[in-house]
């Protein structure tokens, strides 16, 4: 994955090329991970007379269609998918961002009127932060570590927004119907859902470098792998790299994911790579994970650590891009706590809250834990068109209902339950959800708890609120992560970028109200939901352990999920917008 940076080079995000541009008091820089058009497309990118300059971290999947639109109007100088940003800006001004189909964080500077704009993709798949210097400068970067020593204040650049120097502020460019959280009434159509997902996967096979899929053996990653394998032969990538598909999994010896992934890989016929790690390997990597992830959120760190270890090994094999299954649980209510949603209205509102907060959780984890090693992750479930279909259906169809034989994500399972041309074996298609941090091996969480119990004393916990009055750690695991984070990122702005609040099985704080007993838990792991071990047969009928919604809780570690306002980007801007503004922008791709 590419990266945007200010002042210092985030070379771990893009080791293939370094580009810097300076105009008066404005600076743009780029560190490139070349996935599309590696022999061209070095940034910054310019228009014909070099009066408009762009640095971008993105994958624009409809760039070929946009290029055709500007035949005869614009001379393209590279094969970069991000170059289409320039003619769109020249044609439509700042009102073009919704025309981009993909994920991105970019900054554009117009030397003619000394204005600039920055924008981030709809869900926040690609990270971005914005900061302000004491001299009035504006900064943007892919990681806040590029800002924390030079900005008086910085914050997350909100997904689905653009920042305009001419307008001196943000405005939302992404305005889907679901954002208002009104309950939709469109009936479920399995073929429509299937077609939207297959399209989302296929468009993400746009690559000029070797790639693979992350495969845990759960529903989401297995469907990504299955659809990729089925359609790979039709793509340009197959002409360059053949039709063999590489799959990757990480886990402790004997973990659930290793076994399930091997079974799916054998069924699909992928070239499968199984990576093992020990609890000690994970513990040794925690500080690096926190440095790269820039968070102290417990669930994110738990899940990021195995992914971080795996990404290093994948990159060592020469693979630069992988597809992954993030986003499905948020869109479809796949987390086990959704079983307890009191009605479809609450169910839908919770999915909306979860999707809006993805940029602070799974998107952050997937991007930063892999970008640390120069590996790009693509997430087809977070395709804009697929989101419209998934969030536009009547949520009644998504809800757990034992009497109708529906378990979590039944709509997705049913859509790919093809008897004639099966995508997956039935027992895999209807396998129950695992938390990623649990799926890699249950002793991973237990080992973290035991380790942090030794590192943090009771006296330290007793004084936690005095030392950390903002987002006070509620247990020793959370305290340990916070200590590391504060040492790396001591600024108020840094700690305020991390969401906080009570959570069970990755719920938002609002969903805690669904079950009284959940309020007593401080462990976010999904394995403490009472229905976690409920048997599910291959037809999809899920047995729900406690019909009254009582959850079996255990003392554990730290709140994990909860939406907060924020944004991710850093770009430097000198002094004002049209009235003599100087933009010092640093971006790495």
Residues 158, 200 within the same domain? no
73 vs 230, which has greater pLDDT? 230
311 vs 438, which has greater pLDDT? 311
283-315: pLDDT as tens digits: 999 999 999 999 999 999 999 999 999 999 999
Whether residue 497 is contained in a domain is answered as no
Closest CA to 445 of 454, 436, 432: 436
In degrees and rounded to multiples of 5, residue 257 shows phi and psi of: -65, -40
SS3 (DSSP) at 23: strand
Residues 120, 242 within the same domain? no
Residues 29, 158 within the same domain? yes
Using a pLDDT cut of 70, give the percent of the chain over it: 81
Residues 155, 202 within the same domain? no
Per-residue confidence (pLDDT) for residue 23, from 0 to 100: 76
Distance (Å) of CA 149 to CA 13, 181, 494: 19, 38, 11
450-495: pLDDT as tens digits: 999 999 999 999 999 999 999 999 999 999 999 999 999 999 999 9
Q: Which band of pLDDT confidence, cut at 50, 70 and 90, is reported for residue 6?
A: very low
Distance (Å) of CA 385 to CA 232, 395, 439: 21, 17, 29
Q: Which band of pLDDT confidence, cut at 50, 70 and 90, is reported for residue 41?
A: low
Average pLDDT score over residue span 70-89: 92
**Residue ending a domain, choose from 403, 431, 448:** 448
Query: How far is the C-alpha of 143 from the C-alpha of 160, rounded, in Å?
Result: 18
Tally of structural domains, the chain: 2
Domain range for residue 142? 1-177+582-588
Q: How far is CA 230 from the centre of its chain?
A: 25
Distance (Å) of CA 585 to CA 279, 367, 571: 41, 21, 4
Residues 291, 226 within the same domain? yes
SS3 (DSSP) at 261: helix
Q: Which residues have CB under 8 Å from 83's CB, separation 6+?
A: 41, 45, 54, 63, 76, 77
Q: Which band of pLDDT confidence, cut at 50, 70 and 90, is reported for residue 31?
A: low
Residue in the block written with tokens 């989401």: 220
Using a pLDDT cut of 90, give the percent of the chain over it: 71
Whether residue 404 is contained in a domain is answered as yes
Token representation of residue 514: 């669904």
Average pLDDT score over residue span 135-144: 93
Residues 110, 242 within the same domain? no
Token representation of residue 76: 């393209």
Q: How big, in percent rounded to 5, are the helix, strand and coil portions of the chain?
A: 40, 15, 45
Region class of 374: left (phi > 0), else alpha (psi between -120 and 50), else beta: left
544 vs 228, which has greater pLDDT? 228
Indicate the average pLDDT of the chain.
Answer: 85
Average pLDDT score over residue span 380-395: 98
Query: How far is the C-alpha of 332 from the C-alpha of 355, rounded, in Å?
Result: 10
381 vs 557, which has greater pLDDT? 381
Which strands, in side-by-side order, build the sheet including 129-132? 138-141, 129-132, 153-156
Average pLDDT score over residue span 341-346: 97
What's the CATH code of the domain at 275? 3.40.50.620
Cis-peptide, bond into residue 518, ω within 30° of zero? no
* Catalytically active residues, by annotation: 2
What's the CATH code of the domain at 106? 3.60.20.10
Element holding 246 (H helix, E strand): strand 246-251
Q: Which band of pLDDT confidence, cut at 50, 70 and 90, is reported for residue 587?
A: very low
Closest CA to 337 of 329, 327, 345: 329
Q: Which band of pLDDT confidence, cut at 50, 70 and 90, is reported for residue 582?
A: very low
558 vs 333, which has greater pLDDT? 333
- Whether the per-residue pLDDT at 562 is higher than 70: the answer is no
- Whether the per-residue pLDDT at 550 is higher than 80: the answer is no
Torsion of CA 155, 159, 161, 165, to 10 degrees: 30
- Whether the per-residue pLDDT at 360 is higher than 50: the answer is yes
State whether the Cα torsion 257-200-568-466 is positive or negative.
Answer: negative
- Whether the per-residue pLDDT at 1 is higher than 80: the answer is no
Residues 255 and 297: beta-carbon distance below 8 Å: no
Per-residue confidence (pLDDT) for residue 125, from 0 to 100: 98
Query: How far is the C-alpha of 486 from the C-alpha of 452, rounded, in Å?
Result: 16
- Whether the per-residue pLDDT at 579 is higher than 60: the answer is no
User: What's the longest Cα–Cα distance across the chain?
Assistant: 71
Average pLDDT score over residue span 112-126: 96
Query: How far is the C-alpha of 452 from the C-alpha of 44, rounded, in Å?
Result: 44
Per-residue confidence (pLDDT) for residue 535, from 0 to 100: 34
Residues 194, 162 within the same domain? no
Residues 82, 20 within the same domain? yes
Say if residue 192 is exposed, middle or buried (CB neighbours under 10 Å; 0-12, 13-18, 19+).
middle
- Whether the per-residue pLDDT at 24 is higher than 80: the answer is no
Q: Which band of pLDDT confidence, cut at 50, 70 and 90, is reported for residue 440?
A: confident
Query: How far is the C-alpha of 284 from the C-alpha of 409, rounded, in Å?
Result: 35
Average pLDDT score over residue span 31-46: 64
Q: Whole-angstrom distance between the N-terminal and C-terminal Cα of the chain?
A: 8
Please state whether beta strands 129-132 and 138-141 pair in parallel, antiparallel, or not at all (unpaired). antiparallel
**Residue ending a domain, choose from 448, 465, 481:** 448
Q: Which residues have CB under 8 Å from 438's CB, separation 6+?
A: 256, 444, 445, 525, 526, 527
Whether residue 465 is contained in a domain is answered as no
Per-residue confidence (pLDDT) for residue 26, from 0 to 100: 80
Per-residue confidence (pLDDT) for residue 548, from 0 to 100: 29
Query: How far is the C-alpha of 387 from the C-alpha of 391, rounded, in Å?
Result: 6
Average pLDDT score over residue span 496-503: 92
Angle 476-488/442-455 helices, nearest 10 degrees? 70
Whether residue 333 is contained in a domain is answered as yes
Whether residue 171 is contained in a domain is answered as yes
Query: Radius of gyration of the chain from Cα atoms?
Result: 23
Q: How far is CA 589 from the centre of its chain?
A: 17
| Partners of 169 in beta bridges | 164
Per-residue confidence (pLDDT) for residue 454, from 0 to 100: 97
Residues 510 and 489: beta-carbon distance below 8 Å: no
Residues 131, 205 within the same domain? no
Whether residue 161 is contained in a domain is answered as yes
Per-residue confidence (pLDDT) for residue 306, from 0 to 100: 96
Per-residue confidence (pLDDT) for residue 134, from 0 to 100: 92
254 vs 539, which has greater pLDDT? 254
Average pLDDT score over residue span 226-248: 94
Enter the pTM of the model. Answer: 0.87
264-282: pLDDT as tens digits: 999 999 999 999 999 999 9
Per-residue confidence (pLDDT) for residue 27, from 0 to 100: 77
Residues 164, 18 within the same domain? yes
Per-residue confidence (pLDDT) for residue 431, from 0 to 100: 81
Token representation of residue 453: 């119990």
168-177: pLDDT as tens digits: 999 999 999 9
Say if residue 579 is exposed, middle or buried (CB neighbours under 10 Å; 0-12, 13-18, 19+).
exposed
SS3 (DSSP) at 108: strand
Residues 170, 190 within the same domain? no
Whether residue 553 is contained in a domain is answered as no
502-548: pLDDT as tens digits: 888 889 999 999 998 887 766 666 555 655 444 333 333 333 332 32
Residues 164, 285 within the same domain? no
Angle 298-316/362-371 helices, nearest 10 degrees? 30
Whether residue 529 is contained in a domain is answered as no
């Amino acid at each position: 994955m590419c990266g945007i940076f200010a002042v210092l080079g985030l070379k771990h995000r893009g080791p293939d090329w370094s580009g810097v541009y300076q105009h008066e008091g404005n600076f743009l820089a780029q560190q490139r991970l070349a996935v599309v058009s590696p022999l061209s497309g070095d940034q910054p990118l310019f228009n014909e007379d070099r009066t408009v300059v762009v640095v971008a971290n993105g994958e624009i999947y409809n760039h070929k269609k946009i290029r055709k639109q500007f035949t005869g109007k614009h001379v393209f100088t590279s094969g970069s998918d991000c170059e289409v940003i320039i003619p769109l800006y020249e044609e439509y001004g700042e009102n073009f961002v919704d025309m981009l189909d993909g994920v991105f964080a970019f900054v554009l500077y117009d030397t003619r009127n000394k204005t600039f704009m920055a924008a981030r993709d709809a869900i926040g798949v690609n990270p971005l932060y914005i900061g302000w210097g004491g001299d009035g400068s504006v900064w943007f970067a892919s990681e806040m570590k590029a800002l924390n020593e030079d900005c008086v204040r910085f914050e997350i650049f909100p997904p689905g927004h653009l920042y305009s120097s001419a307008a001196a502020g943000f405005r939302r460019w992404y305005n889907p119907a679901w954002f208002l959280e009104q309950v939709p009434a469109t009936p479920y159509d399995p073929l429509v859902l299937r077609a939207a997902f297959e399209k989302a996967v296929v468009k993400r096979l746009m690559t000029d470098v070797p790639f693979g899929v992350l495969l845990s053996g759960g529903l989401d990653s297995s469907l990504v792998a299955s659809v990729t394998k089925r359609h790979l032969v039709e793509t340009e990538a197959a002409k360059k790299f053949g039709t063999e598909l590489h799959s990757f999994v990480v886990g402790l010896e004997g973990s659930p994911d290793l076994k399930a992934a091997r079974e799916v890989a054998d069924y699909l016929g992928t070239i499968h790579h199984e990576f093992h790690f020990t609890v000690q390997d994970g513990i040794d990597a925690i500080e690096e994970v926190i440095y790269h992830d820039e968070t102290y959120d417990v669930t994110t760190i738990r899940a990021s650590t195995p992914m971080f270890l795996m990404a290093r090994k994948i990159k060592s094999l020469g693979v630069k891009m992988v597809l992954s299954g993030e986003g499905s649980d948020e869109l479809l209510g796949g987390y086990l706590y959704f079983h307890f949603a009191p009605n479809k209205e609450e169910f839908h509102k919770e999915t909306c809250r979860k999707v809006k907060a993805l940029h602070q959780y799974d998107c952050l984890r997937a991007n930063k834990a892999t970008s640390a090693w120069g590996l790009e992750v693509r997430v087809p479930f977070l395709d804009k068109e697929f989101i419209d279909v998934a969030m536009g259906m009547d949520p009644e169809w998504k809800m757990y209902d034992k009497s109708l034989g529906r378990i979590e994500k039944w709509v997705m399972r049913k859509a790919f339950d093809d008897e004639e041309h099966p995508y997956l074996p039935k027992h895999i298609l209807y396998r129950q959800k695992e938390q990623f941090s649990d799926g890699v091996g249950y002793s991973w969480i237990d080992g973290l708890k035991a380790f942090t119990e030794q590192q943090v004393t009771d006296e330290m916990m007793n004084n936690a609120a005095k030392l950390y009055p903002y987002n006070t750690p509620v247990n020793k695991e959370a305290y340990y992560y916070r200590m590391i984070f504060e040492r790396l990122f001591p600024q108020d702005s840094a700690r305020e970028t991390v969401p906080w609040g009570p959570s069970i099985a990755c719920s938002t704080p609002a969903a805690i109200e669904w079950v009284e007993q959940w309020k007593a838990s401080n462990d976010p792991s999904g394995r403490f939901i009472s229905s976690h071990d409920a048997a599910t047969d291959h037809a999809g009928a899920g047995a729900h352990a406690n019909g009254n919604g009582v959850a079996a809780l255990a003392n554990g570690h730290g709140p994990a999920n909860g939406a907060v306002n924020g944004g991710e980007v850093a770009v430097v801007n000198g002094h004002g917008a049209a009235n003599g503004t100087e933009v010092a922008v640093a971006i790495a791709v």
